[in-house]
Chains A and B, each alone.
Chain A
Amino acid sequence: MRKSALILAIAPLIFTLSACGGESGQTANITGTPGSNPAAQATRNRWDTIKSRGKLICGVSGEVPGFSFVGTDGKYGGIDVDVCRAIAAALFDNPDAVEFRNLNAKERFTALQTGEVDVLSRNTTWTLSRDTSQGLEFAPVVFYDGQAIMVRKNGNIKSLADLKGKAICVQTGTTTEQNLADQMRKRGITYKPVVFEDINITFATYAEGRCDGITADRSALVSRRTTLPKPDDNIILNEAISSEPLAPAVAKGDTKWGDTVKWVVYSLVKAEELGINSQNLAQFTNSNDPDIKRFLGTEGNLGEGIGLTKDFAARIVKHVGNYAEIYDRNLGPKTKLNLARGQNQLWTKGGLLYSPPFR
C-alpha cells in the first residue's frame, strides 16, 4: 500500500524531468542558429521538406467533378488536381508524385496552416481577409467563377426576388454563405438558410426537396447538377451573386515555396499563349524565338531562381499540358460539364488569363 503510494508520488516527478529534458534539448536546437527566427526557419524549409519527401501533398476537395474528383478508374481528376500534378512535374519530373488529401471547406485552411498539406488546390476563393489575416498566400487564379443559385424548373422561381421566404441550402465555411446573406440583405429579401457542413448532404437535402434553391459557385452547381437524380429538372439562375476567383494557396511566410506554385500556374497560361502543348512540345525545342527559349529553359536559367531546373516549364507541359489542354480535359465541351471558357480565356482572346513575362 505504502509502496504504491510512493510510486504514484514519484511518477509525475519522472515525467517532469523527462519533459524538462525534452524542452532543454529543443532550446539548444533553437539557439543553434543564432540571429534567425526559429519559427521562420521552420517554414522556409517547406520546399526542402517536399523535396526530401519525394512527393507533394496536395489538399483537394475530392467532391467536385471537373475540379477534383475520383473517377470511375479510381484516379483523381479535375482542374485542381492537374494543378497539383503540374507542381509535381516541375519539382520531380513526375506528375504522379502527388498524394491527395480530401479536405472539406472547414478543414482546408487549418490543414494548410499546420502543414498537413503543402498546397491547397481546392476551388478556394481568393479574398482579402484570407490573404491577410488567415495566414494564407494565394497563387494566381486558375478559374474565374461567380456564385449562382440553382432551383427546380417547376418551382416557379425566375430570379432572386422569387426566393422571398423560401429555404435555400448552403454549405458552411464558404464565401458563398456570406455572399448570399449580403445580396439578400441588400435587396431586402428575407429567406431561410439551411446550412450544412458536408457538401454531399447539402445537395442531398436540396434533391429531397427540403430547399427551394441551392447556392454555390456556378461551376460547382454545374458540376454537382450532373450527379443529381434528374439533372435536367434543375436550372441555374442567370443572376450572378458575386465574383469568385478560385486560386491555389500555400501557407504564408515561405516565399520560395509560394513563388514555385505561382510560377507553375503562370507556366500553364504562358504555354497556351505561346501555343505550346504536350503534343507539339518537341517542335519548339529548337525554336529561335528567345521568349520560347527562355520559357523552355534552352536559354538562360530562369527556373533556377526558384530552385527548380531550367526546363521546369517544359516538364509541366510535357506531363500535364498547357492551360487549354487542362481546361478541355476537365471542363470543356467534350466533358459532361461543357462549360464555356468565358472569362477563363487568354487575355489575347478576351479573357482574364495573363502571365507576367518569363524573363
Chain B
Amino acid sequence: MTNSKPPIWRDQRFWRIAGQFLAVFLTAVVITMLWGNLNRNLQQLGIQFGFNFLKQQASFDIGETLIRYNPSDTYSRALWVGLINSLRVAVAGIFFSTIVGVSAGIGRLSDNWLVRNITLVYVEIFRNTPLLLQLLFWYFAVFISFPKAENKISLWGFIGISQNGVEFPWFTLSPEFSALVLGLIFYTGAFIAEIVRGGIQSVPKGQWEAGRSLGLKPGLLMRLVIFPQALRVIIPPLTSQYLNLTKNSSLAIAIGYPDVYFVASTTYNQTGRAVEVILLLMLTYLILSLIISVVMNLFNRTVQIPER
C-alpha cells in the first residue's frame, strides 16, 4: 500500500468541486428565500406577479421616438421606443467619446505646451466632477440657455441652435438628447484619454527610438509603431469605459430624455409593477453589456500578439 490515495477530505480536487456545488446550492437557497418572501409580500398586497401588463395600453406620450409610437400603443412598444433611444445615445456616445478620448490622450503627451495643458485641464475637470452635475450643467447652463426658437443662432447657414435644440436641414437634435450625449462624451472621453495616455506610455522607449531611427515622422511613428502596440493595453479598460457609458446613459432621467430607464420607470409607476419592470431593466442592461463585451473581446483578440 505504498501508493495509497489520501483520504477524500484531504484531496484538493474534491474540495474544489464540492465548493462549486455548495456555491450553487447556496445561491439556490437564497433565491428561493427571496422569491418566497416576494410572493408572500405581493400576495399580502393582493398583487399578482406577471408580465401581462406589457400588453396594456401605455396611454402616456413620449417626446422623442425613432419608431412610430402613440399613446394608444402598449407598454412593450413604449419600452422598445425607450430601448432604441438608449441605443442611439450609446452608439453616438461610444463613437464620439473614442474620438475625443484618443485625441486628448495623445494631446496629453504632446510636445506643445498649450495642447498638453489644455488637455490636462480638460481631463482633470471632467474626471473629477460627478456626471450628474455635468449633465445638469450641459442641460441648464448650455442648451436651455440658448435663445428662443425665433432668434436662433445660425451656424454656417444650415445649422440652427435654439432652446428647441440643434436643427440640421434634415433633422433636429433635442436639447435633452444633445445635453445627454455631450455630457457622456466629454465625461467618458476624459477617462479614455487617461487610458490612451497610459497605453502609449507603456510602449517601451526603444520602440520610439527604433521608429525615429528609421526616419518616421512623429505622426507616422504614432500611427504605425506606437499606437498598434498601445492598443493591447488600451482595449481591456476601454471596454469597461464603453460599458460605463452605456449604463450611465440611464442618468437621462434627470434631464428628461426618454431612454429605456426613463420609460421603464414611468411604466412601473403607472402599473405598480416594480419587481417585473426592474427585472426587465436588469436583463436589458445585462444583455447590452454582454454584447459590448463580446464585440470588444473579439476586437481585442485581433490586436494581441499571436502566440504559438
The interface of chain A, by Cβ under 8 A from chain B, is 2, 5-6, 8-9, 12-13, 15-16, 19-20, 23, 38-40, 42-43, 105-106, 109-110, 113-114, 129-130, 133-135, 167, 172-173, 177-178, 180-182, 184-185, 191-198, 201, 204-205, 208-210, 251-253
Contact = CB atoms under 8 A, between A and B. Distances in A.
Interface stretch (B98-106, B201-209, B267-275): B267-275
A194 B256 CA distance: 6
Contacts of A172: 262, 265-266, 269
Contacts of A208: 140, 144-145, 163
Given A12-B23, A195-B256, A253 B72 contact: no
B178 interface: no
A38 B254 contact: no
A209 B148 contact: yes
A18 B44 CA distance: 27
Given A208-B145, A252-B46, A197 B70 contact: no
Contacts of B60: 177-178, 181, 193
A204 B25 CA distance: 52
Interface residues of B, number: 49
A133 B47 contact: yes
A201 B132 CA distance: 13
Contacts of A181: 59-61, 71
Given A16-B26, A105-B269, A177-B266, 18 more contacts: A5-B16, A6-B15, A13-B22, A16-B22, A106-B268, A134-B272, A135-B272, A173-B266, A177-B61, A178-B71, A181-B71, A193-B62, A194-B63, A195-B256, A197-B254, A197-B262, A198-B254, A209-B144
B73 to A, nearest CB: 11
29 contacts: A5-B15, A6-B15, A9-B15, A9-B22, A12-B19, A13-B22, A16-B26, A39-B41, A40-B44, A42-B44, A105-B269, A129-B272, A130-B272, A133-B271, A134-B47, A134-B272, A167-B63, A172-B269, A178-B270, A181-B60, A191-B61, A194-B256, A195-B258, A196-B255, A201-B256, A208-B163, A252-B45, A252-B46, A253-B44
Contacts of B189: none
Contact of B30 (A19, A196, A252): A19
B43 interface: yes
Contacts of B46: 135, 252-253
A253 B45 contact: yes
Contacts of A5: 12, 15-16
A134 B46 CA distance: 8
B159 interface: no
Contacts of A177: 60-61, 266, 270
Give the 4 A-B CB pairs with smallest separation, nearest first. Answer: A135-B45, A134-B272, A39-B44, A173-B269
A62 to B, nearest CB: 18
Contacts of A40: 44
A46 B22 CA distance: 39
B18 interface: yes
B26 A15 contact: yes
Given A197-B265, A209-B144, A210-B163, A38 B26 contact: no
Contacts of B272: 109, 129-130, 133-135
Contacts of B144: 205, 208-210
Contacts of A105: 269
Contacts of A196: 254-256
B76 interface: no
B30 A209 contact: no
Residue among B164, B256, B268 facing the most chain A CB atoms (10 A cut-off): B256
B25 A16 contact: yes
Contacts of B288: none
Contact of A110 (B26, B72, B140, B274): B274
A106 B269 contact: yes
B26 A39 contact: no
Contacts of B61: 177, 180-181, 184, 191, 193
B194 interface: no
B29 interface: yes
Nearest to A210: B144
Nearest to B272: A134
B220 interface: no
A198 B134 CA distance: 17
Contact of A209 (B25, B63, B163, B269): B163
B107 interface: no
